[in-house]
Structures are given as C-alpha cells and as structure tokens.
Chains A and B, each alone.
Chain A
Amino acid sequence: MSQTFDEISAQLRRRHRRSARLKWVSMGALGLAGLFLLWFFSDMLGKGLPAFQQAQIQVEIDYNEDAARMGRAALDRDLSRLVSRTFERMIPVQMRENPELLGSKETRWVLADSEVDQYLKGHRHKLNDAQRALVDELEAEGRVELRFNTTFFTTGDSKMPEASGILSAAVGTIMTMLVTLAIAFPIGVMTAVYLEEFAPDNRFTQAIEININNLAAIPSILFGLLGLAIFINFFGVPRSSPLVGGMTLALMTLPVIIIATRTALRSVPDAIRHAAFGVGCSRWQVVRDHVLPLAMPGIMTGSIIGLAQAMGETAPLIIVGMVAFIPDVSASLTEAATVLPAQVFTWAGEPEKAFVEKTAGGILVLLAILIFLNATAVILRKKFERRW
C-alpha cells in the first residue's frame, strides 16, 4: 500500500529542517562577511577622513634680517612652536628669491604643526600645558582652525606629517600603470588571440595553457624577484623606477589579461567565424574584423580588473626598490618613484602618531580609485553586453 500524505510529510520534516538550517548558515556567513566589510570601511573612514582636514594657523610674518637666516625668527616666539617647520624653512628661501620682502610684514594662514592638528582633532598629542592654552586661546579668537587639506593632494612624501601628501605616489602609480598596460595589454591580447584562434590544439599548446593558468596563482613577490634578477641585474633598468615597476607588474598582469581575453574570445559564437570564413575572410581578417570587436568588452573588463590588481600590489615593488622616500614628483619613467600602496606601507612604518591618519587617508584614496576602476569594468561589461 502506498504511503499517505501524513506519513510522507513526517519523513520530509527532517529534510526540510536540514535545508532550512543550511540556508540559515549560509545567510549567517553572508551576514558575517557583510559585517566585516562594514567594520573595515567604518574604521578606515573614521581614521582616514580626518586626513583630509589639516590645522591651519593665522600668524604675522615679520621678514626681518634674522629671518633671512632662520625662518623661525620671522614669527612670534610662542607661535613659532605651533607652526609647521616646513613653512618656517621656506621663509629664508622666499626672502632670497624676493629681496623686496625684507622689512615688510604680512598676516597669513599657514600650516600648523602636526601636534596642533592632532590636538584639535582630539587625538594623542605632545603639546605642553602652555602650548595647549595658547592653542585654545587662538581657537577662541578664530586664528586656528581645521581646513580642507590641499597639501595632502599637492605634495609628495615628507618627514613632517602635516606636510606629507600622496601626489608623488599618485603620479608614480599612473606612470607605473601606463608601463604595465603598454606592455601587458598588447602582449596578453595577442598571446590569447594566437592560442585561441590560430594555434593547433596539441600537447604543446595545452602545456602553455596550463602554465599560464598557474602563472596567475604565483605569489606576487616572486615576480618581484624575477624583475630584480632580469630587468635590474641583467638588463640594467634603473631600480626604483616606474619603468622597472611597470615591467614587473606587467609580468603579473599578463596571465590575467590572457585568461580574460581567451574567455572573451571563446564566448564569441562560432557562427560568426563561419559566416566570416564563408564570405572569404582570411583567418586574420576573421579575428580582426569580427571576433576581436565582439570580444573587446570582455577584454577591456579583464584588463581593467588585472590592472586594478596590479595597482594594489606592493610586494613585488618592494623587491625592485619602489618603496622609497620620494618627496618630489618624478618627471620621467627612469627616475626613482613610489606608488600608492607603497606610500601607505611607508607611512604605516612612521613613528609619529599623525601618520596613522595619513596611512588611512592613503588607503581611502587607493580604495576610491580601485572602486572606480572596477565600476568602470562593470559598466563597460553591461554596456557592451551582447546577445547573439
């Protein structure tokens, strides 16, 4: 006799309970991941956002003769402790360049010392009681305030936290990425085109394919060692330069681009190739006029993601010497430079407390760029997504 619904339901109850449990566990995992992400973001924002503000102080500058030798002499003795030493050092330089300044006076907003900045932001600071009282007094008079930190975006690294910025690292990143793209994109795409459209399917090409896939999983620091051994020691490319950094990262990005391009090429239906062969296209014409244009969105997306990966990479660049103190924006591909993640790494190792927020600020900028790049990739994919 067959079972009744009630009997079957009783048996099913346990199965249903089990699937419900599995569902809750997976949702819990998702929730936990979301919480971690939220925590990470709020921590970074909480630590990093203050970096976009910097204390400024209004002082009277007296361009006297002493000041031409030692900038501090231009300022009121008490106030001079509260002003950034970077600014004080610039006074003699300015006076040498503009001799007519001698004897004149001027009231200006200038960069405050990082201790003042930290005090105003409520962080740990090293101001003594008298200095604190002075800052409180100045604040009440409206002569000290937090303003948008343009310095952060317009200068390079500095030993003074208040005067350090990400510009040289950003320029270094751009130059490095240009080198990476210029090398990895054409080589990667052409390799994929050859393997996918021209090469016969034999043991040799299969071995190449496996190796390329493995290459994508190699620890990035090994690429750094390769770059050091080959590009710097053998070919003599200047160390610490965007050129060698870009070449090293290109090695890392190549497999990503090759794999993405192959996937994109494979997703172009054979009907298109047959149509093109059918009207008398040569193999290269089929690829150039029909397959590549259709695969391009996928190739672009893959390349952007590969580039974003390379952009966040630090380890191989440490090996080729791109983690360096670079106060000035490098002007050419062969000069020493640093990149954003390496700058973050450098700041993270600084002893001054004020560098903590710089570190977080640098991470925020890097994150913003990476999110922008990935969003571009997603938009490109959505926009050019085709159906056949």
Chain B
Amino acid sequence: MNIQAVSRHTGGSVPEVGQPHTRNETACHDLSIRVRDLSLWYGDSQALKGLDIDLFQKNITALIGPSGCGKSTFLRCLNRMNDLIPGVRIEGLVEMDGRDVNQVKMDEVALRRRVGMVFQKPNPFPKSIYENIAYAPRMHDLVSRKPEQDELVEKALRDAGLWEEVKDKLHQPGTSLSGGQQQRLCIARAIAVQPDVILMDEPTSALDPISTATIEDLMDRLKKQFTIITVTHNMQQAARVADYTAFFHLGEIIEYNDTNTMFANPATRKAEDYITGRYG
C-alpha cells in the first residue's frame, strides 16, 4: 500500500504544492484533498496547529480523538463551514482538485456542492421527504423537468437505502421519520447533488445501535462512489468502517495511518492510550 501517512511528527516529506493527480475512477488511493500546514484560530485561541494530511478518494477516513481536539473544526475547514463562525482565522492550504479552497475567489457555494455534509444531529428541512431531496438539485439546476427530478429523488433515496421505507409517503414531512431514517434522509440529501466528498460529523452519535449499524453499512456502500470523511467518538465504529484513521490531539494530528495498522499497532503512545481507552 502506498499510503502517504503524514503527520507533524513523522513527516518532513511534504509533497510539492499543486502536485498533479489523475481522477482515476477505479484506483483506490488517489488524492482527494490535500492539507498543508493548516492552522485555525477562534479569536486568540488556536484550535488547529499546522495540520498536514492527504485524504484519499473513495475511501472512508475516520477522524478520532478526545473532545475538543479539533477534529470537527478540521472537518468544517474542508467545506468552509467555519466561515459562518465569526472571529475565525484560517491559514494554510486545503487543496482540492488543484485549487485552494480557502482562496477568496473560490466560491464557497461551489465548494459545498462538491463537498457535502451530514451533521451530528439529523437536521432534515421541515419540508416533505421529497422536497428535502429535490430542493438542492433544483437550486443547482441539476434537474430541469419534473420526471428528471422524480428520478433523482428515487435514486438518492435508493442509494441511501431509504427508498423502500418512504416510497409511499414521499410527501409527508421529513421530520416525521425516526432518527435513523432522518439521518439517512440527510445522507440522501447530501448525495443528491452528486458531490465528490461527503463530510460526516459524528453521524451516528444521536442514534440507537441498530440505526447506527444501518448507517455504517450505508457508508460502506457509499464509499464506492464518494470520498467519506467522518468524525467519530466511537473507536469500534472507526475500526469497523474506516480505511484510514487520523488521531487528533490538542489541535494536532498525532498519527495518521491505515485503520488496521493504527488499531493493531499504533505508532505513538498517545494514540495507543486513546484507542485502548486510557483517556478520551
């Protein structure tokens, strides 16, 4: 495996900025997002301290670490959701498809079309199930006619494994579904605009174990089409679903490796302590 596990501790070998890469549909380890020396401040307190990480296409990368370690903050850097928080300052490079996403001329709307997001608490729009899915593609002019739109809604719901459960009540409010179904609806909403990357911020932390298992299965299927980056507090979940795992601690990436290596043979003491449950 040609994994490029880069961390502040192990890596001085930072590849050149703007390194070309192919968008090969079948390859497993093409670069999706390249992060170099990314720092973030909330006012005066620094939340991210010079992160370097390569995120790979069509894989699941799990971000783990104790609370307040910056993993969610990092996740939100990838689709610039931090822009919404006043007083945030970002430095460093987040590169996707050869473009620096933090540049002023990069439209955050365009970025968020390619980098979708699923939140910790299911947050369907208070509209019908159908509208929840159809709204964004219609807004982005991905569909023009009604039949096209119907087709897209069905496809997104099928991909999210929700179609069979909701096909007879597409016009009921999305909020009438159970928590797990709502979260899958949110996933369907995210994939309906055909993004490259889906960010998931503790997608199952508000769900029961059965719904969690369903979502994990779903993530496993979705990684054939999408790059998934997920934050999780659940070690077992990271071990089960993720191809790569990054361990965050106090705003730094301590260790980044493929999940099996990380869990079987952590290179750092901190990661080992965290994984084995000594703190967290």
Q: Do A and B bind each other?
A: yes
Contacts of B109 in A (CB 8 A): 280-282
Q: B125 near A276 (CB under 8 angstroms)?
A: yes
Chain A: CB-nearest residue to B122: A271
Contacts of A280 in B (CB 8 A): 109-110, 112-113, 136, 139-140, 193
- Tell whether A290 pairs with B125 under 8 Å between CB atoms, given A277-B112, A278-B117, A280-B140: yes
Residue from B79, B140, B175 in contact with A278 in the complex, judged by beta carbons closer than 8 Å: B79
Among A272, A277, A281, which residue has the most Cβ atoms of chain B within 10 A?
Answer: A277
Q: A200 near B116 (CB under 8 angstroms)?
A: no
Q: Is A108 an interface residue (CB 8 A)?
A: no
Contacts of B86 in A (CB 8 A): 200-201
Q: Is B180 an interface residue (CB 8 A)?
A: no
Q: Is B236 an interface residue (CB 8 A)?
A: no
Q: A274 near B190 (CB under 8 angstroms)?
A: no
Q: Is A285 an interface residue (CB 8 A)?
A: yes
Contacts of B136 in A (CB 8 A): 279-281
Contacts of B186 in A (CB 8 A): 275
Contacts of B84 in A (CB 8 A): 273-274, 277
Q: Shortest beta-carbon distance, B19 to chain A, in Å?
A: 27
A interface secondary structure, majority = helix
Q: B81 near A278 (CB under 8 angstroms)?
A: yes
Contacts of B135 in A (CB 8 A): 279, 289
Q: Is B172 an interface residue (CB 8 A)?
A: no
- Tell me the residues in window 94-138 of chain B with beta carbons closer than 8 Å to chain A beta carbons: 109-110, 112-113, 116-119, 121, 123-126, 135-136
Q: Is B71 an interface residue (CB 8 A)?
A: no
Residue from B110, B175, B190 in contact with A279 in the complex, judged by beta carbons closer than 8 Å: B190
Interface magnitude class on chain B: 20 to 34
Q: A277 near B81 (CB under 8 angstroms)?
A: yes
- Tell me the residues in window 90-119 of chain A with beta carbons closer than 8 Å to chain B beta carbons: none
Chain A: CB-nearest residue to B119: A274
- Tell me the residues in window 129-168 of chain A with beta carbons closer than 8 Å to chain B beta carbons: none
A280–B198 CA distance with the chains assembled, in angstroms = 13
Q: A275 near B112 (CB under 8 angstroms)?
A: no
A285–B125 CA distance with the chains assembled, in angstroms = 13
Q: Is B189 an interface residue (CB 8 A)?
A: yes
Contacts of A285 in B (CB 8 A): 139
Chain B: CB-nearest residue to A269: B123
Interface string of A358-388 (1 = CB under 8 A from B): 0000000000000000000000000000101
Q: Is A294 an interface residue (CB 8 A)?
A: yes
Chain B: CB-nearest residue to A286: B84
A178–B89 CA distance with the chains assembled, in angstroms = 47
- Tell me the residues in window 161-192 of chain A with beta carbons closer than 8 Å to chain B beta carbons: none
- Tell me the residues in window 261-308 of chain A with beta carbons closer than 8 Å to chain B beta carbons: 269, 271-282, 285, 289-290, 294
Contacts of A271 in B (CB 8 A): 119, 121, 123
- Tell whether A274 pairs with B81 under 8 Å between CB atoms, given A280-B139, A281-B109, A289-B135: yes
Q: Shortest beta-carbon distance, A278 to chain B, in Å?
A: 4
A281–B190 CA distance with the chains assembled, in angstroms = 12
Contacts of A282 in B (CB 8 A): 109
Contacts of A388 in B (CB 8 A): 126, 175
A278–B118 CA distance with the chains assembled, in angstroms = 8
Contacts of B119 in A (CB 8 A): 271, 274-275, 278
A277–B109 CA distance with the chains assembled, in angstroms = 8
- Tell me the residues in window 26-52 of chain B with beta carbons closer than 8 Å to chain A beta carbons: none
A168–B61 CA distance with the chains assembled, in angstroms = 73
Interface pairs (13), CB distance under 8 Å: A271-B123, A272-B123, A272-B126, A274-B84, A276-B125, A278-B79, A279-B193, A280-B112, A280-B113, A280-B136, A281-B136, A289-B139, A388-B126
Known: A274-B81, A274-B84. 18 other contacts (CB 8 A): A269-B123, A272-B126, A274-B117, A274-B123, A275-B119, A275-B189, A276-B125, A277-B84, A278-B112, A278-B117, A278-B190, A279-B139, A279-B193, A280-B136, A281-B109, A289-B135, A289-B139, A388-B175
The 9 closest A-B pairs by CB, nearest first: A279-B136, A271-B123, A278-B117, A280-B112, A280-B113, A275-B123, A280-B109, A282-B109, A201-B86
